[in-house]
Amino acid sequence: MSVTPKPEGRHHHGALREALLAALAEIVLERGPEAVTLRECARRAGVSHSAAAPHFGDKRGLLTAFALQGEERLAQAMRDALAALPGNAGPEARLAATGRGYIAFARAHPAHFRLMFRTDLIDRADPAWCNAVGQSFALLSDAMAAVRPGMDARARRARLALAWAGVHGFCTLRAEGTGDLWTPEVAEDLIALLVAACAAPVRTPSAEDRAPS
């Protein structure tokens, strides 16, 4: 949805912030994250650069605020998917729900999905962003721990990486429009495969596995 420029001075404080973030989303979808500038966002929102600057400080602050918004929406999408489960849902169903929430978020918020993992463009030391990232990741981490209780740290990290990479890769390829493979049915089958792999017994490395080649 495009941003309708407003005459300068017509925005309420909170409305201006949201208008600037909406303008940023437009630019990301049209030309990519690198094309974002505070001045262009201000122009699209119908205000001067000087009126926009106090909300974010600079371009990095603007991009960080947008990434924070994305992390919050991702976490909410995962919570919504978990909340939709029946009360007797087991740990594997809960892990699958986090994947569905992730995919639903990426479809509903393509600009956020495209930008929020570009940590080279945002302030990774921002406390609010760090907290939001932690909250969204905790939903996956907690679901993973419940699927295979007692797994060691190495096995847990590997399974978290598998689940995240599989779902994120699906969303990325779908967003890039690479063919007709990325359907809802394929998404469900992919999630089922990932959950089955993550729930499999942990294999203890043998002495041969640990020996240098």
Whether the per-residue pLDDT at 7 is higher than 80: the answer is no
Q: Look at residue 183 in the predicted model and tell me its pLDDT.
A: 87
pLDDT tens digits for 88-101? 999 999 999 999 99
Tell me the pTM.
0.86
Residues 6 or more apart whose CB falls under 8 angstroms from that of 105 comprise 73, 74, 77, 78, 112, 113
Please give the average per-residue pLDDT across 176-203, as a whole number.
Answer: 89
Please give the average per-residue pLDDT across 104-122, as a whole number.
Answer: 95
Please give the average per-residue pLDDT across 32-39, as a whole number.
Answer: 94
Kindly list the distances between the CA atom of residue 164 and the CA atoms of 14, 96, 158, 172, in Å, as whole numbers in the listed order.
Answer: 34, 12, 10, 12
